[in-house]
Structure 1
Amino acid sequence: MSQKLITIDLDGTTLNSQNQVSPKTVAVIQAATKAGHLVSIVTGRPYRISAAIYDQLQLKTPMVNFNGALTHIPHQHWQGEYKRTISKAIVLDMLDNQQNLPLKMVAAEGKHTYLANHLPPASLNFFPTTLAQDQLLSRTSLIRNPTSMVLFVDAHQEQVVRNTVLHRYGQQVDVGVWGGPTSVLEVVSKGIQKAKAVAYLAKEYHIDRQNIIAFGDEHNDAEMLAYAGRGVAMRNATPIIKGIANDITEFDNNHDGLARYLEAYLKLAN
């Protein structure tokens, strides 16, 4: 079988609903790597909450964070690393206008930096639960353009804030909305999407598009699954993602759906 580039989303795909990687998933991904295939994590998560999963899977391949705004190989200097940032002026403008806009938290993130003006509510477990003095977001602490800006807002104000950001900076940024019970807006450089990062990886490793297998479950996986030669939706994926995909896993993310699919498709030895 020709070498495949296997791009895997994390939440709802590689991870179960307890945000864990099962032993079966670890074993299958290591078997796929041993068979000569390239497995790359392609996630909306920042690096700080995906590095441990990368290490658990014992990967040495590039990882994509922030839905494509950062592509890098953890723990080493890679000449192919790239990042797309947003102007720090946009973040500072949000800070200056937080009284006029119903913002509960403004955070700015890069590969190794996290700055926020408040602690998030406990329900937002993707963020640090403590803030050191040097993590407080301010004009003096924000010295570099960040990869991502996150705005936590009241649910009924989500559309107002989103429209305001797009009205002011729509030529420079895109605004994504996190799914789930909390209202979180993520602002990244305009045109960022997972598919562009996957195309970049395929070019770097000389892998044809038809040899890309992509796994996902949510709206931010749509372009990636459509771009891949074989887009695979999880059993637990949204109806839209299932409609885009070439195939659907027999099992969901709580029952090793990705691992079982890969094992069978790549004919990996048990």
Structure 2
Amino acid sequence: MSEKNIRVLALDLDGTLTNDEKKVTPRTRAALDAAVAKGVTIVLASGRPTAGIMPLAKDLGLDKKGGCILAYNGGAIIDCKTGETLYQKRLDPDMVPKLCAFAAEQDIAILTYNKEGVVTERPEDEWAAREGFTCHLPMIQVEDLAAYVDYPICKMLITLDPARRDEVCAEGKKRFEGQIDLYPSSPFFIEAVPLGVAKDVSLGALLEKMGLTRENLMACGDGLNDRSMLAFAGTGVAMRNAEDAVKAVASDVTTADNNHDGVAEAIEKFILD
């Protein structure tokens, strides 16, 4: 039982809040509504672009009840009610051609986003297509991604066969050391973000804005990109289906996975007890 004063609940989406069909089930919705009724601010914290999170935020009623979207793995935080950007970090434009060249060399897909959807040279790539499915956004094919991106972006996403993830990530880290951060967010995704962009950093900035501390934060996640926020949060909960390295930094692990209301279990235990 918890006596913690949890005021902010940060939730990873894929593999955490949503089941494998990318849906939030009734029990989890009820738990979220009850937490909001207790004055808890919900933050949807994902590697997805803002446009890929907004429909879910609206579906959960956060545009009316209030709440935040933490997009691009911490590259931006948006107030769901007002649409105001509370925090943002952009990728250096010089990095776009460098990352595109790296992906071409490795013969893997790389993508980013525009206002309409996911832009890539390889929309038919099996792993790239998963981002379109995840975000419910259309895949837009461009001839030359580096030339196409003449607008500010928060991140790029490398997509690849899971068997190659760790080797390519290590190679990329070596290549771009001190220029950007690279880390996996799923078995087939590697995030390419500005230095210092991570879920814990932007959540820290949000808490400061709200006059709260990490003790007031509960975070739930399953992927390697959730480790920082679970370690940072006063209450860090890993899903049963989380990678082992994520469970290792969590203060609690649910008995249920993302397909069986793991998030509801965590909310009931720590916020609604």
The TM-score by the shorter chain falls in which range? 0.7 to 0.9
Matched, 1:31 2:34: yes
Q: Which residue of 19, 35, 51 corresponds with 2:22?
A: 19
Question: Post-superposition shift, 1:94?
Answer: 4.0
For 1:71, give the aligned amino acid. I
1:105–1:151 contact (8 Å) kept in structure 2: yes
**TM-score, length of structure 1 as denominator length:** 0.83
Q: Which residue of 144, 147, 164 corresponds with 2:151?
A: 144
SS in 2 for 1:119: coil
Match of 1:69 in 2: 75
Matched, 1:259 2:264: yes
Q: 1:266 to 1:168 in 2, by over 3 A?
A: closer
Structure number with bigger Rg: 1
After the TM superposition, which of the residue ranges 209-218 and 163-172 deviates more from structure 2?
163-172
Question: Post-superposition shift, 1:18?
Answer: 1.7
Matched, 1:49 2:52: yes
2:222–2:238 contact (8 Å) kept in structure 1: yes
Mapped partners of 1:20, 1:43: distance in 2: 15
SS in 2 for 1:267: coil
Q: How many residues are matched?
A: 262
Q: 1:225 to 1:164 in 2, by over 3 A?
A: closer
For 1:121, give the aligned amino acid. D
For 1:35, give the aligned amino acid. K
Mapped partners of 1:236, 1:155: distance in 2: 17
Runs of 5+ in structure 1 lacking a partner? none
Mapped partners of 1:208, 1:73: distance in 2: 19
Match of 1:173 in 2: 180
Q: CA RMSD in A?
A: 2.8
The 5 A counterparts of 1:1-270 are 2=5, 4-59=7-62, 60-74=66-80, 76-78=82-84, 81-95=86-100, 101-109=105-113, 114-123=118-127, 124-127=129-132, 128=137, 130-131=139-140, 137-138=144-145, 141-153=148-160, 161-162=168-169, 165-180=172-187, 182=188, 184-267=189-272
Runs of 5+ in structure 2 lacking a partner? none
1:125-148 superposed Cα distances (whole Å, 9 cap, x missing partner): 21255426xx65545532223211
1:224-261 superposed Cα distances (whole Å, 9 cap, x missing partner): 11111111122222222222222222322222121133
Mapped partners of 1:235, 1:157: distance in 2: 25
After the TM superposition, which of the residue ranges 107-116 and 139-148 deviates more from structure 2?
107-116
